[in-house]
Amino acid sequence: MIMGENMRINIKSIDINYIQYGEGNSDIVLLHGWGQNIAMMKPLGDKLAKKHRITIIDLPGFGESSEPQDALTIYDYSDILDEFLQKLKIKKPILIGHSFGGRISIIYASKKEVNKLVLFGSPCIAKHTHPSLKVKTLKFLKKVPVVNKLEGFAKKHIGSRDYKNASETMRKILVNTVNVDLSECCKKIKCPTLLIWGENDAEVSVEEAKEIEKLINDAGLIVLPNSTHYAYLENLNYVVNILKNFL
């Protein structure tokens, strides 16, 4: 049975919750979006665990990880990821990031060795506001069979730290994050990169995805019809098949 027990590690005085499970010699590390947690990436990890070791993190300030004492930048999150992977002796991982997690992945991949990079709805160019994700996420969970069982969990955890309900520190982190342009980081990425976007993504448009594809040297874009910011879950089995071919 694919499970993955919760484990904890301290990085830069932040207590980080994560799970690790699966088989294989390659490491897949999954990073969730803002206001989310491990639960939103686990359906994907479960589908890939037969041939890969899966590591899913509650990013600092979300899920069961502790909140940072200081207002971190998106670059600080990348440094925390770097130290986390070093402590777990994970080298040259396959990084899969959604939204905020994708932004962290872009920075990490611009500086460190990465086997392959997968981005779902990850904003790169600084021109976005950051709407509340809680209501959108809960509505989405009701519609998608593969994750609707998470709805009760989501009401307690997902989106609980969006801007409206966040602590002062998390609000500052959000402000620090949303206006950072990562175009130059994209230009430094050397690993093969796959962009998977929802045609109707209202958070990060397909037009921006096309711009990101041009910035990254070895990148390809797949647009999923009639799909939103959560396209990877709305089309879970299809996306898994794409990833298996890519990986």
pLDDT in tens, 228-237: 999 999 999 9
pLDDT at 141: 55
pLDDT at 5: 82
Start-to-end Cα distance in the chain = 23
Q: What is the pLDDT along the chain (247 residues), one digit of tens a residue?
A: 356 689 999 999 999 999 999 998 899 999 999 989 999 999 999 999 999 999 999 999 999 999 999 999 999 999 999 999 999 999 999 999 999 999 999 999 999 999 999 999 999 987 644 445 555 555 555 555 555 554 444 444 444 335 556 788 998 998 888 889 999 999 999 999 999 999 999 999 999 999 999 999 999 999 999 999 999 999 999 999 999 999 9
- Compute the distance between CA of residue 75 and CA of residue 18 in angstroms, rounded to an integer: 20
> What does the pLDDT look like over 6-46, one tens digit per residue?
999 999 999 999 999 999 889 999 999 998 999 999 999 99
Phi, psi of 63 (to 5 degrees): 55, -130
Could you confirm whether domain 6-246 is CATH 3.40.50.1820? yes
The DSSP element (H or E) to which 174 belongs, if any, is: helix 168-178
Place of tokens 């647009």: 223
In the three-class reduction of DSSP (H, G, I as helix; E, B as strand; rest coil), residue 222 is classed as strand
pLDDT at 1: 39
pLDDT at 139: 57
- Compute the distance between CA of residue 174 and CA of residue 108 in angstroms, rounded to an integer: 19
* Sequence ranges of the domains in the chain: 6-246
Cβ atoms of 33 and 133 within 8 Å: the answer is yes
The DSSP element (H or E) to which 7 belongs, if any, is: strand 6-11
